Chain A
């Protein structure tokens, strides 16, 4: 075993023992594993590299801190309760429409930001109580929100993994809209109906509203919605007129939204709310800092090169398998890191076929990384939003849609002809396409019509 392999094994073992056996916080386990890597490689404790590594995710850490503040503000001001009340009042008896529109709502912030976390923490936080009130289990609702946030992150107009890979292989971010839509829409429809259709109940409005928290709408009116309108509006402005509107950055936008919640709804004190939100988001911020250190030390010691070269030098059949396994697995660090470390070399190694489809599919598969523990940004935040502690309960619901995504992506990566067929199918015959999509919807509904009893089913009353 080469030195790099030994370093990798020691780091992995240290992490597993500390996090699973000794139950240390994952951020701390990652930090100690990084130190162990440095020591075993004969580099001692490379302090400056450990510090530098933590800065890799500084922007993400700030986004998480402020997005959590925003979510808490929406809760305290009564915005969330009111939104749930009003959404259910309109859609409570239209199952398919309700589910698909909830999915679209979850995806929306991801579409404009290219990041999954804002999806979960903004519109995801609105959708969660709606689904729970209709009788869906918390873990299933979390799975829909988590998957939706990943679809949002990957869907056009902004797909950051593609931009990262594109920057690495000098490919402009152009022409990806159609491939991404063709990849994402069918899977999003399937996932929503598969996870949700038989697990929400049609409950008469009079009965449903008895168990619901009060709407604050009569007291505060549309003013209540100002914070979320502000956040979405500013995000849209930033993206639609970037040469005119300054780049404020997501942290500042979320902070602005959080401050607005102070004056638009039920009164609450900012200081305890901010302490609460920092307390809840601290483990995730520490996790990102730990991951930054881990990759830095892996690169420093050569363990990163060891992994990349070993995957890329697999025989063809295993190479494709390696892609669908390693891309999401490396997403355990972050899907963006996966796009950088593996997405770029995979794309370079496979150049020669339809490159736009190839990179779209690689990014599509890499996006699954946001479900992969320990970071699992989409999943862990979805767990927080639906109020469960163990993310694994959400992950198990995501397995089938995730496998479907991986297989779909793999077909596109392997077979250039398949992409021609997909384009022909979705563009050449739009009527047939619509009919087939409707048939898929009915098929999925039929398939899952007879509901099983959910162990953890919770109708909030």
Chain B
């Protein structure tokens, strides 16, 4: 038998080592393909899929669950999208709390917690995100949620072009081709991200949503944060909401959706349907560039020494102190904003009212934590 030369032996050892490392890595990567559990609360009347609105999504990584919570009395419809960007967890958690808690008496609430399901199946290279974070329920069950990427998984859509040309002609860097919130109004014949966007547009149109809300987070150094970005048809609704929230000591600014910035939900939902489109932003240090050592602790506590220093040097667009930006605080802002938008809309649109109860209160959220409102598997 011919013995391997020293050079070949080194080669074989390196290949075996690489295969071993890749195998080890792949176990961890593929664990992120498993969907997070969301339990249907007492208010859920139907669970559908996005592919029910756009059949081409069936069986693809872009299909995702749609929770319908319909009241006995007819009224208006509000659509709430979480998880368009899976590295902005407060949006997803706010939608999960809606699904597991609220009970609608009038009108309809439609919720998608994982807007870009593909983007939940991976994390972004060089961002070193924690892949998941856990919250304990009152019953002691540990509910884990994935912390994904801003972009669709390249396993499902690849390669990126050098530049991304939106259907309007707007150009952005190639990676934005996989950004759901640059892909609206979508394209039924486009690649996966465009198809997801098209499916969401179809949902808004077919359900005749009166109000559509896209829940996000932004890094504290980003200039549009703690804000609502509203399409021109929703400006007065957002402005009135903002004023009412100020009275409850929640400061939230209103930004107009720029007409020349295309592909975003607040722009295209409003332009391509009759809905009033609004996007919410809170400050999330775990997705920012200034963060120190991250991990799931930072996702939940929002406390970071480098952000504190940046705040002292006036580099942030939100107040930031030793308390950080805890997840309860961020989710609460979203829920209060949502509640107020619905209240203001219902007040101004008789016959299209939406009413619901059991939305987690701010006080209990902050004092008892999100776990107090999460259901357990049993």
Contacts and interface: CB of A to CB of B under 8 A. Distances in A.
Interface string B245-258: 00000000000001
Interface in B146-164: 159-163
B378 to A, nearest CB: 32
Contact of B163 (A50, A158, A168, A300): A158
A242 to B, nearest CB: 4
B165 A242 contact: yes
Contacts of A52: 25, 29, 123, 125, 128
B171 interface: yes
B309 A4 contact: no
**Which of A168, A296, A312 has the most chain B CB within a 10 Å cutoff?**
A312
Interface in A282-300: 292, 295-297, 299-300
A269 interface: no
A48 B29 contact: yes
A299 B292 CA distance: 8
A292 B167 CA distance: 32
Contact of B289 (A54, A166, A301, A345): A345
Interface stretch (B96-104, B196-204, B217-225, B322-330): B217-225
A54 B29 CA distance: 14
Contacts of B72: none
B48 interface: no
B315 interface: yes
* Size bracket of the A interface: 35 or more
Contacts of B176: 163, 167
Contact of A348 (B162, B222, B313): B222
B366 interface: no
A230 interface: no
Given A167-B176, A299-B128, A302-B293, A51 B221 contact: no
A400 interface: no
B173 A160 contact: yes
A296 B160 CA distance: 21
Interface in A217-258: 238-239, 242-243, 247, 249-251
B293 A345 contact: no
A164 interface: yes
Interface string A113-138: 11100000000000000000000000
Contacts of B163: 114, 158, 160, 163, 173, 239, 242
A169 to B, nearest CB: 7
Contacts of B127: 299
B162 A160 contact: yes
Contacts, number: 146
A65 interface: no
Contacts of A292: 125-126
Contacts of A54: 125
Nearest to B122: A52
A312 B315 contact: yes
A53 B29 contact: no
A300 B171 contact: no
Interface string A258-273: 0000000000000000
A306 interface: yes
Nearest to A249: B159
Nearest to A352: B223
B190 to A, nearest CB: 10
Contacts of B165: 242-243
Given A167-B176, A345-B290, 8 more contacts: A52-B128, A167-B173, A170-B261, A172-B261, A172-B262, A174-B170, A308-B290, A344-B289
Which 7 interchain pairs have the tightest Cβ spacing? Answer: A163-B173, A302-B292, A51-B25, A56-B125, A300-B128, A302-B293, A299-B128
25 contacts: A47-B25, A48-B24, A48-B29, A49-B128, A51-B21, A51-B29, A52-B125, A56-B126, A59-B159, A114-B162, A114-B163, A160-B174, A163-B173, A166-B172, A167-B176, A167-B179, A169-B222, A173-B171, A174-B260, A242-B161, A242-B165, A243-B165, A296-B128, A299-B127, A313-B309
